[in-house]
Amino acid sequence: MDEIIEKKRSIREDILKRVCALSEKDRHGKTQEIQDRLFSFANFLESKVVLLYMEKDPEVPTAQIIKKCYLIQKVVVLPAFKPEKKGMDLLKVDHFENFLRPGPRGVLEPDPAVCKVVPIDFIDIAIIPGIAFDEKGGRIGTGEGYYDQLIPKLPITTRKVALTLETQLIPQVPMEPHDRFVDILITEKRIIYKI
């Protein structure tokens, strides 16, 4: 087990270096292509309630996606992390500004004082963050386990989608028994269906 943990740590470092090696212009262009692909993706277009995330580097940025979701009348849900319980609350965020605050993981998250909890069964599509992926839907996250706990709780009909740069794809993710897969990967070049 320690061997897998060490391998994942090494992959995280390698992917961070790869993504940081991209120029800001190149990374922005690739991110825009991913966003365009997402906004033409049928499962996304048909969804009403969208679970998104606020990224930690090198995850694909989502601020512009969130803002565009408001324009097309989607309900935006973001996680508020609870490190003491290794869990998260899913909260509806009505506006990008004034509804977010710095969270315990060093990223913005919904302010529970002004955002309402959304039952997990209401989520139509879940955009799952990650640092590295393989084409079978294997993912390496930050190593905190939040999304590995969330994914099996989502309804079976909820599509689990990852946004990733092609440079974040690896031949095979080393999986532990608790690790969970995503259904679909959207890159700047293609959509990969695991299902």
- Residues 1-37 pLDDT 10s: 689 999 999 999 999 999 999 999 999 999 999 999 9
pLDDT digits (tens, 9 = 90+) for 92-148: 999 888 789 999 888 999 999 999 999 999 999 999 999 999 999 999 999 888 999
What residue spans define the domains of the chain? 2-190
pTM (two decimals): 0.94
CATH code for the part of the protein at 2-190: 3.40.50.10420
Predicted pLDDT of residue 195: 57
Predicted pLDDT of residue 67: 95
- 73 pLDDT band, cuts 50/70/90, is very high
Average pLDDT of the chain to the nearest whole number = 94
Q: What is the arithmetic mean of pLDDT over 175-181?
A: 91
Predicted pLDDT of residue 1: 60
Provide φ and ψ at 99, rounded to 5°: -110, -5
